[in-house]
Amino acid sequence: MTATTVRALRLADTAEAADLAAFLGRLIRYDRAAAVRLQAGGGAVAVFGRPPAFEVLAIRTARLSEAGAEGVEGSVEGPVELDVTVSAGELLEGIDELTGGFGLPAAVTGPPWTGVLPPRGGWQRVPGLPGPAGLRQAVAAAVTEFRTRDEALPAAHRDRAERDRIGREIWSRTVGGTGLPLRAVHAAQSVGFLRPMPEDAPVALLRAGTWMRLRTPYGSIAVRTGGTGGIGGLSVTPT
């Protein structure tokens, strides 16, 4: 097989192209200069992003069409194999929601997080996760608590440091006995992964080593636990 340069990909379903565009749009809302790492192979593409307010990785996957790659230099045999970090904004601009195709922008030097992704395998299910409605209720209750406590602060103490303290306390709590930080659920809702769905939708919590992954039909949120990362960048502003 000769060297190849993949210039574009095509998804199997135009609805998935629209979902990918919406996901990228939400990432850009948090950071207009956001980068994403894109991996394609085995008939699917995965896009990894990091909404900075939550210190988690958001992952959106989609099926590739049988054609897979378009506009390549050289010959391609078998499934597309691609791993590149690109601008989220430029990737969004290249998506054609009518055809499901999108061009690949030039690679960029990604931020440090792009070099540390969750493992591909070894995931085991963690019991005790509430259903979609219960997860959304947990986030709503936390947002309400934050606002109530913020409003109760004396004027002399209503500063960023005190709000950060309250935010760290609330969003670092875990969901039941699962060990999943509540901020991961908040992130899932904020990037559209917990939007309304049937209560029996395949929502699951998985663990592999120090990683936990909240998986929904619309995407996954991965977070490292066990003291491998801090929460200094955690946003305390409810969304």
10 pLDDT above the threshold of 70? yes
Residue 81 lies in a domain: yes
Domain count, the chain: 2
**Do 131 and 220 belong together in one domain?**
yes
Average pLDDT of every residue of the chain: 87
The residues, any chain, with a CB within 8 Å of residue 227's CB and separated by 6 or more, are: none
Boundary-marking domain end, from 86, 114, 142: 114
Q: Which residue has the higher pLDDT, 191 or 74?
A: 191
Q: What is the residue range of 84's domain?
A: 8-114
pLDDT in tens, 47-88: 999 998 889 999 999 999 886 666 444 334 445 689 999 999
Question: Per 3-state DSSP, what percentage of the chain is helix, strand, and coil (rounded to 5)?
Answer: 30, 25, 45
DSSP letter string over 3-22?
Answer: --B--EEEES-HHHHHHHHH
Please state the pTM of the whole predicted model.
Answer: 0.87
